[in-house]
Amino acid sequence: MSLNEWSGVFTALVTPFRDGRVDFISLSKLLHQQAENGIRSFVVNGTTGESPTLEWDEVKEIYRFVRKEMGGEARIMVGTGSNCTQRSIALSLEAESWGADGLLVVTPYYNRPTQEGLKAHFSALAEAVKIPVMLYNVPSRTVTKIEVETIVSLSKVKNIIGLKDASGNVEDGIQILERCGEGFYLFSGDDMTCMELALAGAHGVISVASHVLPREFVHLMSMAMKGAEEVRMKYQQYHRFLEVLYSESNPIGVKKALYKMGILASCELRLPLTEMSVEQSRRLYFEMDALGLN
Protein backbone atom coordinates (compact mmCIF):
# COMPACT_ATOMS: atom_id res chain seq x y z
CA MET A 1 0.00 0.00 0.00
CA SER A 2 1.56 3.29 -1.07
CA LEU A 3 1.70 6.19 1.34
CA ASN A 4 -0.50 8.40 -0.84
CA GLU A 5 -3.36 5.98 -0.16
CA TRP A 6 -3.41 6.95 3.52
CA SER A 7 -6.43 9.21 3.27
CA GLY A 8 -10.20 9.21 3.42
CA VAL A 9 -12.50 7.09 5.56
CA PHE A 10 -11.41 3.97 7.41
CA THR A 11 -14.13 2.11 9.33
CA ALA A 12 -12.99 0.78 12.70
CA LEU A 13 -14.82 -2.52 12.36
CA VAL A 14 -17.08 -3.95 15.03
CA THR A 15 -16.69 -7.65 15.75
CA PRO A 16 -20.13 -9.26 15.40
CA PHE A 17 -20.82 -12.04 17.89
CA ARG A 18 -23.49 -14.71 18.13
CA ASP A 19 -23.64 -17.18 21.00
CA GLY A 20 -20.18 -16.11 22.11
CA ARG A 21 -18.46 -16.67 18.76
CA VAL A 22 -17.50 -14.36 15.91
CA ASP A 23 -20.46 -14.09 13.53
CA PHE A 24 -18.87 -14.15 10.09
CA ILE A 25 -22.22 -14.08 8.28
CA SER A 26 -23.01 -10.69 9.82
CA LEU A 27 -19.44 -9.52 9.22
CA SER A 28 -19.80 -10.36 5.53
CA LYS A 29 -23.03 -8.35 5.30
CA LEU A 30 -21.32 -5.42 6.99
CA LEU A 31 -18.28 -5.52 4.71
CA HIS A 32 -20.38 -5.58 1.56
CA GLN A 33 -22.59 -2.76 2.85
CA GLN A 34 -19.41 -0.74 3.36
CA ALA A 35 -17.94 -1.54 -0.06
CA GLU A 36 -21.21 -0.77 -1.84
CA ASN A 37 -21.15 2.67 -0.23
CA GLY A 38 -17.55 3.54 -1.04
CA ILE A 39 -15.52 2.26 1.93
CA ARG A 40 -12.82 -0.36 1.44
CA SER A 41 -10.47 0.70 4.25
CA PHE A 42 -10.76 -0.94 7.66
CA VAL A 43 -9.24 -1.37 11.08
CA VAL A 44 -9.38 -4.87 12.57
CA ASN A 45 -8.91 -5.36 16.32
CA GLY A 46 -9.39 -1.76 17.32
CA THR A 47 -11.36 -0.39 20.25
CA THR A 48 -14.60 -0.73 18.28
CA GLY A 49 -13.72 -4.35 17.52
CA GLU A 50 -13.60 -5.10 21.28
CA SER A 51 -9.88 -5.82 21.17
CA PRO A 52 -9.57 -6.38 24.95
CA THR A 53 -11.81 -9.45 24.74
CA LEU A 54 -10.64 -10.96 21.44
CA GLU A 55 -8.25 -13.89 21.38
CA TRP A 56 -5.33 -13.41 19.00
CA ASP A 57 -6.39 -16.47 16.97
CA GLU A 58 -9.74 -14.74 16.46
CA VAL A 59 -8.00 -11.57 15.27
CA LYS A 60 -6.07 -13.61 12.72
CA GLU A 61 -9.25 -15.30 11.52
CA ILE A 62 -11.08 -11.96 11.24
CA TYR A 63 -8.21 -10.37 9.32
CA ARG A 64 -8.07 -13.26 6.85
CA PHE A 65 -11.84 -13.17 6.41
CA VAL A 66 -11.86 -9.42 5.70
CA ARG A 67 -8.99 -9.82 3.22
CA LYS A 68 -10.74 -12.69 1.43
CA GLU A 69 -14.08 -10.86 1.27
CA MET A 70 -12.67 -7.50 0.20
CA GLY A 71 -9.68 -8.60 -1.89
CA GLY A 72 -6.23 -7.16 -2.34
CA GLU A 73 -7.46 -3.63 -3.04
CA ALA A 74 -8.83 -3.25 0.48
CA ARG A 75 -6.66 -1.40 2.98
CA ILE A 76 -6.52 -3.17 6.34
CA MET A 77 -4.82 -1.95 9.48
CA VAL A 78 -4.53 -4.30 12.44
CA GLY A 79 -4.55 -3.10 16.04
CA THR A 80 -1.42 -4.46 17.74
CA GLY A 81 -1.12 -2.19 20.76
CA SER A 82 -0.27 -3.41 24.24
CA ASN A 83 1.08 -1.97 27.47
CA CYS A 84 3.97 -4.43 27.13
CA THR A 85 6.41 -3.36 24.43
CA GLN A 86 7.68 -6.87 23.69
CA ARG A 87 4.15 -8.21 23.31
CA SER A 88 3.20 -5.35 21.00
CA ILE A 89 6.27 -6.06 18.86
CA ALA A 90 5.41 -9.77 18.70
CA LEU A 91 1.81 -9.05 17.66
CA SER A 92 2.99 -6.51 15.09
CA LEU A 93 5.43 -8.94 13.50
CA GLU A 94 2.70 -11.53 13.25
CA ALA A 95 0.22 -9.10 11.67
CA GLU A 96 2.94 -8.06 9.23
CA SER A 97 3.40 -11.71 8.25
CA TRP A 98 -0.32 -11.95 7.41
CA GLY A 99 0.02 -9.13 4.88
CA ALA A 100 -1.52 -6.28 6.88
CA ASP A 101 -1.18 -2.90 5.18
CA GLY A 102 -0.38 -1.15 8.43
CA LEU A 103 -0.47 -1.31 12.21
CA LEU A 104 -2.58 0.81 14.55
CA VAL A 105 -0.75 0.99 17.87
CA VAL A 106 -2.51 2.44 20.89
CA THR A 107 -0.72 4.28 23.68
CA PRO A 108 0.25 1.88 26.49
CA TYR A 109 -2.43 1.93 29.18
CA TYR A 110 -2.55 1.27 32.93
CA ASN A 111 1.22 1.42 33.55
CA ARG A 112 1.23 5.12 32.52
CA PRO A 113 4.62 5.60 30.84
CA THR A 114 6.29 9.00 30.68
CA GLN A 115 6.73 10.80 27.37
CA GLU A 116 10.26 9.37 27.18
CA GLY A 117 8.78 5.92 27.75
CA LEU A 118 6.31 6.49 24.92
CA LYS A 119 9.11 7.51 22.58
CA ALA A 120 11.09 4.38 23.45
CA HIS A 121 8.03 2.12 23.15
CA PHE A 122 6.87 3.33 19.74
CA SER A 123 10.40 3.61 18.36
CA ALA A 124 11.25 0.03 19.35
CA LEU A 125 8.10 -1.26 17.67
CA ALA A 126 8.57 0.78 14.49
CA GLU A 127 12.16 -0.37 14.16
CA ALA A 128 11.11 -4.03 14.47
CA VAL A 129 8.73 -4.02 11.48
CA LYS A 130 8.82 -3.06 7.82
CA ILE A 131 5.25 -1.83 7.35
CA PRO A 132 3.64 1.51 8.25
CA VAL A 133 2.86 2.21 11.90
CA MET A 134 0.11 4.61 12.94
CA LEU A 135 0.16 5.90 16.51
CA TYR A 136 -3.18 5.93 18.32
CA ASN A 137 -3.80 8.65 20.89
CA VAL A 138 -6.96 8.07 22.95
CA PRO A 139 -6.35 9.55 26.43
CA SER A 140 -9.98 9.09 27.52
CA ARG A 141 -9.29 5.34 27.57
CA THR A 142 -5.55 5.04 28.23
CA VAL A 143 -5.13 7.99 30.66
CA THR A 144 -1.73 8.71 29.10
CA LYS A 145 -1.71 11.31 26.32
CA ILE A 146 0.92 11.48 23.59
CA GLU A 147 1.97 15.13 23.81
CA VAL A 148 2.47 17.17 20.64
CA GLU A 149 6.24 17.38 21.22
CA THR A 150 6.42 13.59 21.48
CA ILE A 151 4.43 13.16 18.28
CA VAL A 152 6.73 15.57 16.44
CA SER A 153 9.75 13.57 17.65
CA LEU A 154 8.19 10.22 16.69
CA SER A 155 7.19 11.51 13.25
CA LYS A 156 10.88 11.36 12.34
CA VAL A 157 11.15 7.63 13.18
CA LYS A 158 11.25 5.29 10.19
CA ASN A 159 7.93 3.48 9.54
CA ILE A 160 5.90 5.80 11.80
CA ILE A 161 3.71 7.42 9.17
CA GLY A 162 0.85 8.97 11.09
CA LEU A 163 -1.45 9.40 14.05
CA LYS A 164 -5.03 8.55 14.83
CA ASP A 165 -6.03 11.26 17.28
CA ALA A 166 -9.17 10.43 19.25
CA SER A 167 -8.64 13.22 21.78
CA GLY A 168 -11.06 15.56 20.01
CA ASN A 169 -8.54 18.39 20.48
CA VAL A 170 -8.54 20.18 17.12
CA GLU A 171 -5.97 22.76 18.30
CA ASP A 172 -3.44 19.99 18.97
CA GLY A 173 -4.23 18.55 15.56
CA ILE A 174 -3.45 21.85 13.86
CA GLN A 175 -0.09 22.00 15.66
CA ILE A 176 0.71 18.44 14.60
CA LEU A 177 -0.10 19.22 10.96
CA GLU A 178 2.07 22.33 11.02
CA ARG A 179 5.04 20.78 12.79
CA CYS A 180 5.18 17.25 11.37
CA GLY A 181 4.95 18.31 7.75
CA GLU A 182 4.27 16.29 4.61
CA GLY A 183 4.57 12.54 4.83
CA PHE A 184 2.97 12.37 8.27
CA TYR A 185 -0.71 11.49 8.08
CA LEU A 186 -3.16 12.80 10.67
CA PHE A 187 -6.46 10.96 11.02
CA SER A 188 -9.27 11.98 13.31
CA GLY A 189 -10.49 9.28 15.65
CA ASP A 190 -13.37 11.37 16.97
CA ASP A 191 -16.56 11.44 14.93
CA MET A 192 -17.84 14.62 16.59
CA THR A 193 -14.84 16.74 15.54
CA CYS A 194 -13.57 14.87 12.47
CA MET A 195 -14.91 17.32 9.88
CA GLU A 196 -13.38 20.27 11.71
CA LEU A 197 -10.01 18.53 11.80
CA ALA A 198 -10.28 17.66 8.10
CA LEU A 199 -11.04 21.29 7.27
CA ALA A 200 -7.80 22.14 9.09
CA GLY A 201 -5.85 19.74 6.86
CA ALA A 202 -6.22 16.25 8.34
CA HIS A 203 -6.00 13.36 5.91
CA GLY A 204 -9.10 11.42 6.95
CA VAL A 205 -10.99 9.72 9.74
CA ILE A 206 -10.98 6.31 11.40
CA SER A 207 -14.65 6.22 12.19
CA VAL A 208 -17.31 4.37 14.15
CA ALA A 209 -20.33 6.19 12.72
CA SER A 210 -19.27 5.23 9.19
CA HIS A 211 -20.72 1.79 9.95
CA VAL A 212 -24.14 3.43 9.88
CA LEU A 213 -23.48 6.37 7.55
CA PRO A 214 -20.88 5.05 5.09
CA ARG A 215 -21.89 6.97 1.97
CA GLU A 216 -22.48 10.15 3.94
CA PHE A 217 -19.07 9.96 5.62
CA VAL A 218 -17.27 9.38 2.32
CA HIS A 219 -19.00 12.38 0.75
CA LEU A 220 -18.66 14.77 3.69
CA MET A 221 -15.05 13.83 4.45
CA SER A 222 -14.16 14.42 0.81
CA MET A 223 -15.77 17.86 1.01
CA ALA A 224 -13.98 18.71 4.25
CA MET A 225 -10.59 17.59 2.93
CA LYS A 226 -11.10 19.95 -0.03
CA GLY A 227 -11.79 22.82 2.38
CA ALA A 228 -15.52 23.15 1.70
CA GLU A 229 -16.72 25.20 4.69
CA GLU A 230 -20.37 24.30 4.07
CA VAL A 231 -19.61 20.81 5.40
CA ARG A 232 -20.08 22.21 8.91
CA MET A 233 -23.75 22.92 8.28
CA LYS A 234 -24.32 19.64 6.44
CA TYR A 235 -22.71 17.62 9.26
CA GLN A 236 -24.73 19.39 11.94
CA GLN A 237 -27.78 17.26 11.14
CA TYR A 238 -26.00 14.18 12.52
CA HIS A 239 -24.86 15.61 15.86
CA ARG A 240 -27.83 14.43 17.93
CA PHE A 241 -27.49 10.96 16.45
CA LEU A 242 -23.76 10.93 17.27
CA GLU A 243 -24.40 12.07 20.83
CA VAL A 244 -26.72 9.15 21.53
CA LEU A 245 -24.55 6.71 19.54
CA TYR A 246 -21.79 7.43 22.06
CA SER A 247 -24.04 7.78 25.12
CA GLU A 248 -22.76 4.40 26.35
CA SER A 249 -19.28 2.98 25.86
CA ASN A 250 -18.37 2.30 22.23
CA PRO A 251 -19.19 -0.11 20.54
CA ILE A 252 -22.44 -0.57 22.49
CA GLY A 253 -24.34 2.05 20.46
CA VAL A 254 -23.09 1.18 17.00
CA LYS A 255 -23.88 -2.51 17.47
CA LYS A 256 -27.43 -1.57 18.46
CA ALA A 257 -27.71 0.64 15.37
CA LEU A 258 -26.41 -2.08 13.04
CA TYR A 259 -28.86 -4.55 14.57
CA LYS A 260 -31.75 -2.18 13.88
CA MET A 261 -30.57 -1.87 10.27
CA GLY A 262 -30.59 -5.67 9.88
CA ILE A 263 -26.84 -5.87 9.24
CA LEU A 264 -25.99 -7.64 12.49
CA ALA A 265 -28.02 -10.66 13.59
CA SER A 266 -27.37 -9.71 17.22
CA CYS A 267 -26.08 -6.74 19.21
CA GLU A 268 -24.21 -9.17 21.46
CA LEU A 269 -21.05 -7.91 23.17
CA ARG A 270 -18.49 -9.66 25.32
CA LEU A 271 -18.49 -8.99 29.03
CA PRO A 272 -17.85 -6.69 30.75
CA LEU A 273 -19.70 -4.75 28.03
CA THR A 274 -23.47 -5.20 28.03
CA GLU A 275 -26.26 -4.36 25.61
CA MET A 276 -27.51 -0.78 25.37
CA SER A 277 -30.06 0.24 27.98
CA VAL A 278 -33.73 0.43 27.03
CA GLU A 279 -33.82 4.20 27.50
CA GLN A 280 -30.78 4.90 25.33
CA SER A 281 -31.95 2.37 22.73
CA ARG A 282 -35.21 4.30 22.38
CA ARG A 283 -33.29 7.55 21.95
CA LEU A 284 -30.99 5.96 19.38
CA TYR A 285 -33.86 4.49 17.38
CA PHE A 286 -35.70 7.84 17.47
CA GLU A 287 -32.69 9.67 16.02
CA MET A 288 -32.13 6.95 13.42
CA ASP A 289 -35.77 7.12 12.33
CA ALA A 290 -35.50 10.90 12.05
CA LEU A 291 -32.58 10.45 9.65
CA GLY A 292 -34.23 7.60 7.73
CA LEU A 293 -31.66 5.06 8.92
CA ASN A 294 -33.58 1.79 8.87
Q: Catalytic residues, which ones?
A: 136, 164
Phi, psi of 64 (to 5 degrees): -65, -35
- For the CA atoms of 86, 91, 92, 95, what is the dihedral angle to 10 degrees? 170
In order of 21, 64, 201, the CA distances from 245 in angstroms are 24, 29, 26
Report the distance separating Cα 138 and Cα 174, nearest Å: 17
Which residues pair with residue 206 across a beta bridge? 10
For residue 22, the cross-strand partners are 17
Residues 6+ apart with CB under 8 A from 104: 43, 46, 77, 78, 79, 80, 81, 134, 136, 164, 206
Length of the chain, please? 294
